[in-house]
C-alpha cells in the first residue's frame, strides 16, 4: 500500500486567542494543549512512516521561521512559501502540483486539536482507500453540540468501509437549524480535513475553476526551489483568485465523499474551546502558570509569569500575556477578537 502525503496548511494567525496568540506568535506555533504546539502535534499525527510520507507544509513568509524551527526534526519536510495568502484552493493546488499525480494527499489545518489520534489515523486509512478509487474525501467531524460556528456536511448513501457520498455541504447554520441537524444525526461538522489524489484534485479544479487552476499552474511553473523551500512566482501568484477549497472544488464535484470520525476534535476557536480541550481538575478548573484558586468552578487560568489569585468565580477565563491581561466569561470569549488589543495588532 502506498503512503499518504500530509499537506499541512499554516495560514493566518487570527485574533480569537489574543493575547496569547499575537501576530508575532500565532496560534499554530503555541503549546496550547499539552507541551507540543498545535503545528508540532499536527506533524506528529502524521509521523508514522508505515502510513505517511514526508509532509508538505504550505505557509506564508511571516510564518516560515516558525514552520522551519518546529519541523526541523521531521525528515524530508518541504515547504511551499506563499508570497500572499490566497485561501485554501490555491494552497492545496500548489502542493498537488509538487507531488506525483497518484500521490494521496491528506490536507490538514495546522491549528486544530485532536485528542484521539488513533481514530484520526483510522479515518486517514479509510480516506486513503476511497481516494485511491477517485473520491474526493472530507472528514465528517462528529457533531456533539448545535454549533453555529462551523459548516456542516450531510451524508448520503454509504459507499464502503465507513465512507458515504456527500449529500450536501451546508453553510454555518443558525441555532435552530444547528439543533435540527444534531437531532437528525446525518450531519457532521466540516473540519477542513480532506483526502484525494493530487491528480484528481487538479482535474476537478481545472473542471470547476479553470482560471484559478491555470493561474496556480503558472505560479508553480515559474517558481523556484531553494533547498526544501519552494517559492511560487510572485507575479503569477498575485493574480490567483482567493477561494476556499470547499467552494472551488468540494461543493461542485460529483465525487465528494465523507468519512465520519469521532476523534476529540476541536478547532480551538476561542478561549472557551481551549478550556474544554485542556485537562481540568474535579472542579472543572484548569491552570497553566502560577495560580491559586479559592471557591472556583470551571475557571481557566493561563499566565506566562505573574501569579494569578482567583476567588469565588465560575465559568471565567483569565489570561496573562506580557503587558496584557484578559478576563472573560465563557460566553464572552466569542468577542475577544473585537477587543481593542486584539484588533489593533
Q: Which is nearer to its own copies, 105 or 299 (CB)?
A: 299
Task: Classify residue 144 by burial, with Cβ atoms within 10 Å: 0-12, 13-18, 19+.
Answer: exposed
180 binds its own copies (CB under 8 A): no
62 binds its own copies (CB under 8 A): no
We find the least distance from the C-beta atom of residue 294 to its own copies, in angstroms, to be: 6
Q: How far apart are CA 291 and CA 249, in angstroms?
A: 48
DSSP state of 262: -
Interacting residue with its own copies among 1, 175, 327, 345 (CB under 8 A): 327
Residues 266-305 that bind its own copies (CB under 8 A): 292, 294-295, 303, 305
The interaxial angle of helices 198-208 and 210-221, nearest 10 deg, is 130
Angle at CA 233, nearest 5°, toward 229 and 239?
130
We find the least distance from the C-beta atom of residue 297 to its own copies, in angstroms, to be: 12
Cell of 178: 444547528
Q: How far apart are CA 20 and CA 26, in angstroms?
A: 8
Q: Which is nearer to its own copies, 195 or 310 (CB)?
A: 310
Interacting residue with its own copies among 84, 125, 335, 345 (CB under 8 A): 335
Query: Which of these segments, 20-28, 142-150, 277-285, 334-342, binds its own copies (CB under 8 A)?
Result: 334-342
Q: What size, in residues, is the chain? A: 345
Interacting residue with its own copies among 185, 227, 282, 340 (CB under 8 A): 340
* Gyration radius from the chain CA atoms: 20
Containing H/E element for 114? strand 113-114
Show the binding pattern over residues 4-43: x = contacts its own copies (CB under 8 A), - = does not: ---------------x------------------------
We find the least distance from the C-beta atom of residue 176 to its own copies, in angstroms, to be: 23
Containing H/E element for 167? strand 164-170
Interacting residue ranges for its own copies, rule: CB under 8 A: 19, 292, 294-295, 303, 305-313, 316, 318, 320, 322-329, 331-333, 335-336, 338-341
Amino acid at each position: 500500500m502506498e503512503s499518504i502525503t500530509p499537506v499541512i496548511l499554516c495560514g493566518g494567525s487570527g485574533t480569537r486567542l489574543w493575547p496569547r496568540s499575537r501576530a508575532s506568535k500565532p496560534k499554530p506555533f503555541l503549546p496550547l494543549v499539552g507541551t507540543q504546539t498545535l503545528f508540532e502535534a499536527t506533524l506528529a499525527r502524521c509521523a508514522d512512516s508505515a502510513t505517511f510520507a514526508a509532509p508538505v507544509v504550505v505557509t506564508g513568509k511571516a510564518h516560515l521561521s516558525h514552520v522551519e524551527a518546529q519541523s526541523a526534526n521531521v525528515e524530508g519536510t518541504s515547504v511551499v512559501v506563499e508570497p500572499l495568502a490566497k485561501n485554501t484552493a490555491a494552497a492545496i493546488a500548489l502542493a498537488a502540483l509538487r507531488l506525483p499525480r497518484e500521490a494521496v494527499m491528506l490536507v490538514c489545518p495546522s491549528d486544530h486539536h485532536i485528542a484521539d489520534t488513533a481514530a484520526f489515523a483510522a479515518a486517514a486509512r479509510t480516506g486513503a482507500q476511497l481516494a485511491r478509487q477517485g473520491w474526493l474525501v472530507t472528514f465528517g467531524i462528529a457533531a456533539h453540540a448545535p454549533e453555529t460556528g462551523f459548516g456542516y456536511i450531510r451524508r448520503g448513501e454509504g459507499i464502503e468501509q465507513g465512507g458515504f457520498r456527500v449529500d450536501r455541504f451546508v453553510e454555518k447554520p443558525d441555532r435552530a437549524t444547528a439543533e435540527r441537524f444534531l437531532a437528525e444525526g446525518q450531519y457532521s461538522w466540516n473540519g477542513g480535513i480532506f483526502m484525494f489524489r493530487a491528480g484528481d484534485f487538479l482535474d476537478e479544479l481545472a473542471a470547476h475553476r479553470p482560471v484559478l487552476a491555470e493561474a496556480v499552474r503558472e505560479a508553480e511553473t515559474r517558481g523556484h526551489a531553494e533547498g526544501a523551500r519552494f517559492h511560487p512566482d510572485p507575479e503569477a501568484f498575485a493574480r490567483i483568485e482567493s477561494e476556499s477549497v470547499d467552494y472551488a472544488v468540494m461543493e461542485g464535484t460529483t465525487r465528494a465523499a465523507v468519512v465520519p470520525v469521532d476523534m476529540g476534535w476541536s478547532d480551538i476557536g476561542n478561549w472557551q474551546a481551549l478550556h474544554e480541550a485542556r485537562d481540568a481538575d474535579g472542579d472543572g478548573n484548569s491552570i497553566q502558570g502560577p495560580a491559586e484558586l479559592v471557591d472556583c468552578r470551571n475557571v481557566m487560568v493561563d499566565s506566562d509569569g505573574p501569579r494569578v489569585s482567583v476567588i469565588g468565580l465560575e465559568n471565567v477565563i483569565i489570561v496573562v500575556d506580557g503587558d496584557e491581561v484578559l478576563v472573560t466569561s465563557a460566553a464572552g470569549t466569542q468577542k475577544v477578537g473585537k477587543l481593542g488589543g486584539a484588533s489593533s495588532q
